[in-house]
Structure 1
Amino acid sequence: MTVTIKDVAKKAGVSPSTVSRVLSNHPRISLETSRKVKAIMEDMGYTPNMMAKSLVSKTTNSICFSLPKPAEELFSNLFFMELIRGIVTQASRSGYDVLISSGANEKEELEAVSRLLKGRRVDGVILLYSRTDDAVIDFLESNDYPFVLVGRSDRYENILSVDNDNVMAAYDATNHLISMGHERIGFVSGPPNLIVSRDRLAGYRKALLNSGLEMRDEWIVEGEFLQDSGYRAMSFFMNLPNRPTALVAVDDMVSFGILRGLNELKYKVPDDLAIVSFNNIPLSELSSPPISSIDIGIYHLGYTASQVLIQNIKSPNHDVGYTNRFVIPHRLIVRESSMYSHAKNKTE
């Protein structure tokens, strides 16, 4: 038989409304009464009706994160798994549940997020991507729904966001290859409509420009954050008459595809081609050879995004820390894929 609030109230010798106030941590309930009622709840095995509670408090104690593509495709990239681990860990510590929202395209994403928020099933949203002209951000911003963007917006300056300095991160990655003697450096980018792709490409270009090195359009290839993008890029790059001797790859998963393609073509890393990529997922250290990668603090991106969102939900008018943009620091992890000095290219 299900235990109700009335059953708890009767045993505790208080009114049902007092039990409800204990559940919502009402400040007018004394510590002694709160402890007594909670002990009786535990003894009786009472489980709060969260739906009923949300109707009273107008909160759900739930947030969601929105996936920019079908879940089965994204979960093949360990970046998102680690990002979500950070989100869920912090949300759980704050007493919040986490839901997943996804769609096959931007229209479906918008519909999914809209259903959850308008149906009051979640209190806020974490967007795991940042696109140019994003309809989901437009919807959230115009309706004043709580949300946090992992990345940055090119249209809204004051939205809550958690990001890296991706321009500087790509600058550092490219500069490392330059310091190893490389002069012909290519770039395997992500989808051009993603801000992170544009920022990392900008950092790559900036490093080449500052060093007075040549930039060629054929040394830049766009793709997805998937192995296949790196694999396809190899057949193109290695057949160029004046091919790059080093590559900056936008994501570690892309680098794995590059390694696979080079192996099939009988080229060696870093002797024939050096590689630096991004995210520093655990497999980058275990690949053959181990891949040099920019560690962007994936877990901390997710953890901070969850923390900032929940703080904003609880105190919507509270200053979250004198800034709306939180930047997670990055660092270059140098491994075998880029350690070989290619200074000889200066005389080729």
Structure 2
Amino acid sequence: MAVTIKDVAKLANVAPSTVSRVIANNPRISEKTKRKVRKAMNELGYHPNFIARSLASKSSDVLGIIMPKSGDGSFLNPFFPTVMKGLSQAAHDDRLGLQITTGITEEEIYDEVEKMVHGGRVDGLILLYSKVGDNVLNYLREANFPFVVIGKPYQYESSISHVDNDNFQAGKDVAKYLLDSGHSAIAFIGGNAELVVTIERMKGYEAALMEAGIPVRKDYVIHEDFMLEGGKEAVKRLMNLENSPTALIVADDFMSLGVLNMLDELGIDVPGDISVFSFNNVLLAELSKPPLCSVDINIESLGYQAVKLLLTRIKEPGSPAMRMIVPYELIVRSSVAKIKN
């Protein structure tokens, strides 16, 4: 005979309605009671019929995750599996599922998002990126569908819930660290110029130089994809300049790995000949040779908090948009050397 909610309630010594509320992860139920009920469910082998519950509540109990297009190799960047860890933990805490968009092109991603929204597949969506003129973001905003952005929205910042670091200040802090280390010829290697994270970090870099009375050289600012090859191409261009930089700010650790590889191929020592300061502080930064100075942006926390914000948007659709800033930390290793002017 199939185990029922009444059987679970009897074993846990609670009312059947309490079991239902635990299954729905009702915040009014104490953690102690939730643990007791879930223990009873496990002992009896009871599995809630989530499909039936979803039909009754008109809720899918699934959150959608919008990745960048896979055609540019974004899946290879360690940022995404790390942020997914935070997303998964938060979803698990609330007994929710995750559905990830798939698509090689931006058009395919857009079509997938439309199907998610119109098909009732998900209760809300999380964009793992923010860029200029994003059709997906504009569509979700016009459809008044619950969504959250990881990153600062390029437009409508006050009306879109988002989780971010203060990337402007982080870029400025890195540049100031290099300036304080005696460097004045500092170049910036950023990702796609349409990505808001690149724009913000670059603006911070430029602000630090201007405050120090150092003009920003256009040929010292290069934009490539957040990939190994992007880092290599940027180094080739910078090292061919008549007055090459003594320090590099690289907007992503994966790109920095390409930077280090190309510098090694060219026989340029880090940090003896040139210093490198990176962003994101994924495991690659610690394991690279030399270990990279990098900004720890708490990637897992970005994902975790994005889910929490989205759940608020879903449960309180009339609530104002929220902005959450996750703290960052400059992690100093051995890829930056102080120089004497």
* Deviation by residue 1:183-216 (Cα, 9 ceiling, x = unmatched): 1111101111111111111111111101011321
1:308 alignment counterpart = 309
Look up the equivalent residue of 1:327 and give its one-letter code. Answer: I
Does residue 54 of structure 2 align to residue 54 of structure 1? yes
* Deviation by residue 1:209-249 (Cα, 9 ceiling, x = unmatched): 01011321111111011111111112211111111111100
Partners in 2 of 1:142 and 1:261 — Cα distance?
45
1:332 alignment counterpart = 330
Partners in 2 of 1:231 and 1:72 — Cα distance?
16
2:159 alignment counterpart = 158
Partners in 1 of 2:176 and 2:132 — Cα distance?
27
SS at match of 1:63: strand
CA contact (8 A) 1:184 1:214 kept: no
Look up the equivalent residue of 2:263 and give its one-letter code. Answer: L
1:247 alignment counterpart = 248
Superposition RMSD in Å: 2.9
How far residue 12 of structure 1 moved from its aligned partner, in angstroms, is 9.0
SS at match of 2:101: strand
1:73 alignment counterpart = 73
Does residue 206 of structure 2 align to residue 205 of structure 1? yes
1:298 alignment counterpart = 299
1:23 to 20, 26, 43: 20
CA contact (8 A) 1:19 1:37 kept: no
2:338 alignment counterpart = 341
1:98 alignment counterpart = 98
* Deviation by residue 1:134-158 (Cα, 9 ceiling, x = unmatched): 1111111111111110011122121
How far residue 52 of structure 1 moved from its aligned partner, in angstroms, is 2.2
How far residue 41 of structure 1 moved from its aligned partner, in angstroms, is 6.7
Look up the equivalent residue of 1:134 and give its one-letter code. Answer: D
CA contact (8 A) 2:151 2:197 kept: yes
SS at match of 1:175: helix
SS at match of 2:317: coil
Partners in 2 of 1:12 and 1:299 — Cα distance?
36
1:287 alignment counterpart = 288
Partners in 2 of 1:173 and 1:38 — Cα distance?
48
Output the TM-score relative to the length of structure 1. 0.86
Q: Name the count of aligned residue pairs.
A: 329
CA contact (8 A) 1:151 1:162 kept: yes
Q: 1:43 to 1:274 in 2, by over 3 A?
A: closer
Look up the equivalent residue of 2:75 and give its one-letter code. Answer: F
Partners in 2 of 1:134 and 1:185 — Cα distance?
31
Residue segments in structure 2 that go unaligned for 5+ positions in a row? none
1:114 alignment counterpart = 114
Q: 1:42 to 1:176 in 2, by over 3 A?
A: closer
Q: 1:72 to 1:45 in 2, by over 3 A?
A: farther
Look up the equivalent residue of 1:145 and give its one-letter code. Answer: F
Whose Rg is larger? 1
How far residue 46 of structure 1 moved from its aligned partner, in angstroms, is 4.3
Q: 1:218 to 1:56 in 2, by over 3 A?
A: same
Partners in 1 of 2:8 and 2:283 — Cα distance?
53
- Tell me the percent identity: 37
How far residue 109 of structure 1 moved from its aligned partner, in angstroms, is 1.3
2:126 alignment counterpart = 126
Partners in 1 of 2:80 and 2:8 — Cα distance?
48
CA contact (8 A) 2:232 2:261 kept: yes
Partners in 2 of 1:282 and 1:70 — Cα distance?
22
CA contact (8 A) 2:149 2:306 kept: yes
CA contact (8 A) 1:183 1:214 kept: no
Look up the equivalent residue of 2:314 and give its one-letter code. Answer: I
Q: 1:93 to 1:9 in 2, by over 3 A?
A: closer
Look up the equivalent residue of 2:311 and give its one-letter code. Answer: I
* Deviation by residue 1:157-199 (Cα, 9 ceiling, x = unmatched): 2111000111110000111111111111111011111111111
Look up the equivalent residue of 1:305 and give its one-letter code. Answer: A
How far residue 36 of structure 1 moved from its aligned partner, in angstroms, is 12
1:231 alignment counterpart = 232
Partners in 1 of 2:40 and 2:181 — Cα distance?
68
How far residue 102 of structure 1 moved from its aligned partner, in angstroms, is 2.8
1:171 alignment counterpart = 172
CA contact (8 A) 2:254 2:284 kept: no
CA contact (8 A) 2:131 2:196 kept: yes
Partners in 2 of 1:114 and 1:326 — Cα distance?
27
Look up the equivalent residue of 1:125 and give its one-letter code. Answer: L
